[in-house]
Amino acid sequence: MNHPIATPAIPSLAIAGSSARFPVHRIYCVGRNYAEHAREMGAAVERGSPMFFMKPADAIVADEGAGVLVPYPSATQELHHEVEMIVALRSGGSSLSVEQALDCVFGYGVGLDLTRRDLQAAAKAKGHPWDAAKGFDHSAPVSALVPVERSGHPTAAQLTLDINGERRQQTDIADMIFAVGPIIAELSKLWALQAGDLIFTGTPAGVAALARGDRFRAELAGIATLNGTIT
Ligand code: MN
């Protein structure tokens, strides 16, 4: 194909135990999927249907095995961490049933939904969209993905985040308001899901500020770990 500019690279993630890469198509994120986090944000705990937003695929910071370096973003004084379980899709579709949904999963990982909390608060106050608060460059550091053949479909596992060796966030993914199957089914009512899609499944309570030089360790126990530094 004849393009007048260089073809942009396709963002991709490492796959544990493989030299192959997982190409990232879209990044869907679930908001307020743990009751304690919804409360700490002053939001109602909604159990009817999940709230979604998106990040651009090239917001990914992929762990190549030695940890990630995440530049402190521009235009914020309040960069917050949100540790989340990541779901990667190997297939998709529209209007999927909960039963069909898990068959779409390629694997699982752990990542941070980095957030310009000051810009998010300003956007909420004005009823503006969240893109500048959530979808900025380098806002999605993600571990290597663990294929479902190795991980199974985890329904209970500790999800933790340590900053400079101190525990900041801790939950069990069993406490998610919407589990993985229902999340995929709900997303597929709104978008045609595709192989390569990633889902950030929401963060537990304990979100707080990061500073330059902070070292983080995110872990989905028994499955995936992500180490990194804010630079
Ligand atoms: Mn989040």
Q: Which amino acid is at 39?
A: R
Buried b (16+ CB within 10 A) or exposed e, 77-95: eebbbbbbbbbbbbebbee
Q: Rounding to the nearest 10 degrees, give the CA dihedral for residues 62, 70, 66, 140.
A: -30
Query: What is the Å distance from ligand 1's center to 115 Cα?
Result: 8
Query: What is the Å distance from ligand 1's center to 41 Cα?
Result: 11
Query: What is the Å distance from ligand 1's center to 140 Cα?
Result: 10
Query: What is the Å distance from ligand 1's center to 143 Cα?
Result: 16
Annotated domain spans of the chain: 12-230
- The length of the chain is 231
Query: What is the Å distance from ligand 1's center to 17 Cα?
Result: 27
Buried b (16+ CB within 10 A) or exposed e, 194-222: eebbbbbbbbbbbbeebeeebebbbbbee
Domain 12-230 has CATH 3.20.10.10: no
| pTM greater than 0.95 | yes
Q: Per residue of the chain (231 residues), what is the pLDDT tens digit?
A: 789 999 999 999 999 999 999 999 999 999 999 999 999 999 988 889 999 999 999 999 999 999 999 999 999 999 999 999 999 999 999 999 999 999 999 999 999 999 999 999 999 999 999 999 999 999 999 999 999 999 999 999 999 999 999 999 999 999 999 999 999 999 999 999 999 999 999 999 999 999 999 999 999 999 999 999 999
Query: What is the Å distance from ligand 1's center to 31 Cα?
Result: 6
